[in-house]
Amino acid sequence: MKNGSRASWSGQIAFILAAAASAIGLGNLWRFPYLAAQYGGGTFLVVYLVLVVTLGFALMLTEIAIGRKTQQSQLTAYSRLHRGWGVVGLIATLIPILIVPYYCVIGGWVLKYFVAYAQMAFTGAELMGPGAADSGAFFTGFISSNFAPFGYGIIFILGCATVIVLGVKNGIEKSNLVLMPILFVLAVAISIYVVCLPGSGEGIKYYLLPNLDCLKGADGSFSVAVLGKTILGAMGQMFYSLSLAMGIMVTYGSYMKKSDPIERCVRRIEVFDTVIALIAGLMIIPVVYMFAIKTGTPVKEAMSAGPGLMFVTLPKVFAMLGTGGTWLGLAFFALVIFAAATSAISLYEACVASFCDLLKIERKAATFFTGALICFLAVFSALGYGAWGDIKLFDMQFLDFFDFTTSCILMPIVAVLTCIFIGWVLKPKAVIEECEAEGHLFKAKTIYSFLVRYIAPAFVLAILISEICRNLGIGGWKI
């Protein structure tokens, strides 16, 4: 991307759709329902919504403003604003480079399940055994095989690369105009189906109504520590949900026109993403709650985080619903493919834009170079549960290690440094001026300045410490 020839969105709607598409991914579909169930349903929702409209707003607006102000991706944007802060851009670029490979491997898992449910729906085969009793064995057998996980991952990577090589308007923008409506319609249709199931009412109440009992400690009284963990859990989810500190919003902001109001766009992205997150919980929590009650399984255990929920528990839930459950599973994994693809495309684009800006090369060359790097790194995550299963880093499989390094360490570090950079080095005035370009009003500029200077860095630093403690088992800390 040479100076004066930078691509741009066709308009405000295209930017909002692209940013929302990047935010709606696997984190919303398996992590959000788990955390909502873990922290008392409606109680977690209230905390999450408050954080999204305050800290989430400040962090997203900052990243978008940096991108539009510099007309650069995250790799070169920080150094363009201040030569001594280029290291932040370097770390921010390392994040998507490490995330895309394992994210596409997981996308391949989803693709495999979509194919499996298509077989079961159209042929009547019971690939996971009667009642999906063997869903765990099916999942383990697949991810531990020597080639299949990598093969499906490559298909997923090639699909994303095809969209990226077509460019911002012809690729990313047009794909979102197709994928996002399909994703939204599928999500609404599945949630309506779930809500209408006999016996789903208790699960809906569990999900939507605040339960203050979840804030009590072991002695039965209100616990500040439990409230703190709830807030930190909601903040961690906010990073996943809003695609913060991944370089995506800086890159997408660099394609934004000066005539588009940043503040209004951020608010609309937040609404879009939050609605999808809420619908995701409505799709999953009521049926898993029903399954837990029917089988005598503790609800929190049934809502186990990560792959266990989506690839082991949900197939059993779908099987419990009979023939209709098979078709529900097919629709669900189709939805997850679209959600994973939109996020993976955004992460891929952040990498490609960085190489274009740094090396001054064409998009096609950067896409192929990035794709080759992604495929190479994907091998580790694809084989990490199979042929290379005995190789561990800090007692973690490759995929888990890459996830821990990016989401628990690098992302909070980038967010903290960005807040310090804008709040104390460059000053909030730089972002405020960008938001007020061409006469736009920035109604929340006073509260924004306070958040980015004091509140956001303190909370994100707490996230960094808590995530490290949680993942390394320090002090019995769990979120």
Those residues whose C-beta lies under 8 Å from the C-beta of residue 400, and which sit 6 or more positions away, are: none
Distance CA 324, CA 338 (A): 21
Are 150 and 102 spatial neighbours (Cβ–Cβ below 8 Å)? Answer: no
Query: How do the pLDDT tens digits run along the chain, 479 residues long?
Result: 444 568 899 999 999 999 988 887 887 777 888 788 778 788 899 999 999 999 999 999 999 999 999 999 999 999 999 999 999 999 999 999 999 999 999 999 999 999 999 999 999 999 999 999 999 999 999 999 989 999 999 999 999 999 999 999 999 999 999 999 999 999 999 999 999 999 999 999 988 888 888 888 878 888 888 888 888 888 888 888 888 999 999 999 999 999 999 999 999 999 988 888 889 889 998 999 999 998 888 877 887 766 788 999 999 999 999 989 999 999 999 999 999 999 999 999 999 999 999 999 999 999 999 999 999 999 999 999 999 999 999 889 999 999 989 988 999 999 999 999 999 999 999 999 999 999 999 999 999 999 999 999 999 998 888 878 877 777 655 55
Which candidate, 338, 419, 448, places its Cα nearest to that of 63? 419
Structure tokens at 338: 């679209």
Domain ranges of the chain: 12-476
Tell me the sheet residues that pair with 210.
Answer: 41
What's the Cα-to-Cα distance from 56 to each of 52, 172, 336, rounded to whole Å?
4, 24, 24
DSSP sequence for 438-450: GG---TTHHHHHH
Q: Is the CATH number 1.10.4160.10 carried by domain 12-476?
A: yes
Distance CA 479, CA 226 (A): 10
